[in-house]
Amino acid sequence: MKVLQDMDIGELAAFICNVLSNHGIECVLTGGACVSIYSNNRYQSGDLDFIETGESKRSKIKDILSGIGFEEYNRYFKRKDVKYFIEFPSGPLSIASERVNEISEIEFSTGILKLLSPTDCVKDRLAAYYFWDDKESLEQAYLVATVQEININEIARWSKKENCTGKFNQFKKLLIKNKNEA
């Protein structure tokens, strides 16, 4: 197996996910790291955001990660020779007002990674665009949607529920423009 500092973001995320799982802690990768993985690194994230789906104590996570060389600094876990840092935002696993029900899995040489589905990854990025007008998150949603198969009807349903149909229509126009130019 590769040494940690030579792992790409997906390999490292799968490794961390499996180390935690082997100690009874189940978690799901969210955020920009999902965008990196699903966009074939067209977007580069610097961190791994895991949502823990059970009820483990942070001290247990800290002990496990310490065992593989990650030390806690404020709310992050860092290792000097690894360019990515790890964060555990508080749960539950949700996107805006909805719980996430579908978890995807990708197998890497370092283990099985549990992460948001491509559709939920797009919704996660669109949430930042919808609620904080974060244009970079719109670009990230677009990147994933142009590389991965997504359920646009599910995104439309969720967008309507979040009262963001206007911004969803802007996103959909970007996708249509991309298909017309291809």
d(CA 135, CA 154): 21
pLDDT digits (tens, 9 = 90+) for 12-29: 999 999 999 999 999 999
Q: Which of 119, 113, 116 is nearest to 89 (CA)?
A: 116
Q: Which of 111, 96, 109, 84 is nearest to 27 (CA)?
A: 111
The structural domains of the chain, with segments of one domain joined by +, span 4-116, 119-181
Which positions ≥6 away from 77 have C-beta within 8 Å? 62, 65, 70, 71, 85, 86, 87
pTM of the model: 0.94
pLDDT digits (tens, 9 = 90+) for 134-146: 999 999 999 999 9
One of 1.10.1660, 3.30.460, 3.30.2010, 3.80.30 is the CATH number of 4-116, namely 3.30.460
Q: Which of 152, 142, 150 is nearest to 181 (CA)?
A: 142
